[in-house]
Amino acid sequence: MQRFENKVVLVTGAGSGIGKGSALRIAAEGGAIFCVDLNLAAAEETAKEISAAGGTALAQACDVSSEQQVIDCVAACVEQLGSLYAVINMAGMLRFDDSRELELAKWQQILDINLTGTMLMCREALPHLIKSGGSIVNAASTAALSGLPCGAAYSASKGGVLAMTRSIAVDYAKQGVRANCVCPGDINSGMTQGIDWPKTMDFDLMPRIMSISGPKNPEAIAGVIAMLASEDATHITGEDIRVDGGMLS
């Protein structure tokens, strides 16, 4: 399949986990990838892997929670690669807190990265996506759909991403732009390693965040993200797809 031939795709969080998996998958289907991450070295590594496999990719450092950096990042993508067909917003941060001890600064940081960062990328990309008839795929989460233990801030951010994506979907459907979410659950990534649990975490609730069939690697979701970004999903917008191994089934 070469669904992304002659198409430019910007992927945030491209240095790790699901973002990296999506970048590699879409590049393998012919897309030119603008690999965006807070961690430039990691984004460069993804771009290097794509180039080594014969694809086209550039790396860009960007903190998605910075309005000016996002404005500059999308402008750089269009300037350097010529257009923009899809944005895959996978940059994100997870932390667990007892809600009684949730510091305002930590709450704000999660909302700034996960929700505001996704909004800024959508806002800056939309004029280009209207030109290309393109699409957006955002990272919500199973935490947007059911209670995540010690996850009030993260869940609020992901519920916001889901609601915002539906709103963007209805606003731009007539202009040919689609916007969808994936709701990952139990995908091995940087985020799921070395979790710092609060002392009060009730581990009886762990099955709520574990897939029935066990964790899967990012390849298990990259194909779904590629499908949603591609013309195979031409009649799908404002949708969310759980990729969680039956966690919430």
Ligand X SMILES: NC(=O)c1ccc[n+]([C@@H]2O[C@H](COP(=O)([O-])OP(=O)(O)OC[C@H]3O[C@@H](n4cnc5c(N)ncnc54)[C@H](O)[C@@H]3O)[C@@H](O)[C@H]2O)c1
Binding site for ligand X (CB under 6 A): 12-13, 15-19, 37-39, 42, 62-65, 90-94, 113, 117, 139, 141, 184-187, 189-192
Tell me how far apart the alpha carbons of residues 180 and 164 are, in angstroms, rounded to a whole number: 10
DSSP state for residue 147 in the 8-state scheme: P
Residue 174 Cβ vs ligand X, minimum distance, rounded to whole Å? 28
C-beta of 200: minimal distance to ligand X in Å? 22
Strand ranges of the sheet holding 178-184, from the earlier edge strand across to the other edge: 56-61, 32-37, 8-12, 86-89, 135-139, 178-184, 240-243
Question: Is there a catalytic annotation at residue 154?
Answer: yes
Cα–Cα nearest to 8, from 87, 64, 62: 87
Q: To the nearest whole angstrom, how small is the minimum distance from the Cβ of residue 243 to ligand X?
A: 9
Which residue, 90 or 175, has its beta carbon nearer to ligand X?
Answer: 90
Residue 214 DSSP one-character state: -
CB of 94 to ligand X, least distance (A): 6
Question: Would you say 46 or 237 has its CB closer to ligand X?
Answer: 46
Contact 191, 17 (CB under 8 A): yes
Both tokens of 10, joined, read: 């910007």
Min CB(124)–ligand X separation in Å: 14
Q: Please, which residue, 109 or 176, has the CB nearer to ligand X? A: 109
Catalytic residue among 4, 34, 107, 154: 154
Please, which residues bridge with residue 58 across strands?
34
Q: Assign 3-class secondary structure to 72-119.
A: HHHHHHHHHHCCCCEEEECCCCCCCCCHHHCCHHHHHHHHHHHHHHHH
Q: Between 84 and 162, whose beta carbon lies closer to ligand X?
A: 162
When the beta carbons of 48 and 133 are compared against ligand X, the nearer one is 48
Q: Give the span between the Cα atoms of 237 and 44, in whole angstroms.
A: 31
- Which pair of structure tokens corresponds to residue 107? 């709450």
Q: Which amino acid is at 80?
A: Q
Distance separating alpha carbons of residues 130 and 132, to the nearest angstrom: 6
Q: What 3-state class would DSSP assign to 195?
A: coil
Tell me the catalytic residues: 154
